[in-house]
């Protein structure tokens, strides 16, 4: 979805959705950075940040 919402004509035609996607993408990158630092699956999936943000990110992507 990055190719659709970051740069190009679609981002210009749909600026609200492009901005929303950019925020979702930044949050996702933070989550993945934290997961990389944790390096243990169980500790990562039990992270409260992950539990709270993933449903919100999913809903946001559906709206985009």
pLDDT in tens, 23-62: 999 999 988 898 888 888 888 888 777 788 889 999 999 9
Domain that holds residue 53: 2-63
The position carrying tokens 């979702």 is 24
Q: Which pTM does this prediction carry? A: 0.76
Give per-residue burial for 40-54: e unless 16+ CB within 10 Å, then b: eeeebeeeeeeeebe
Q: Which long-range contacts (CB under 8 A, 24 or more apart) does 11-18 make?
A: 17/63, 17/64
Q: Is the pLDDT of residue 19 over 80?
A: yes
Number of structural domains found in the chain: 1
59 or 2, greater pLDDT? 59
Here the tokens at position 11 are 């981002």
């Amino acid at each position: 979805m990055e190719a659709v919402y970051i740069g190009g004509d679609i981002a210009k035609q749909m600026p609200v959705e492009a901005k929303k996607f950019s925020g979702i993408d930044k949050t996702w990158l933070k989550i993945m950075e934290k997961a990389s630092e944790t390096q243990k699956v169980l500790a990562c999936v039990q992270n409260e940040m992950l539990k709270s943000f993933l449903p919100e990110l999913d809903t946001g992507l559906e709206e985009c």
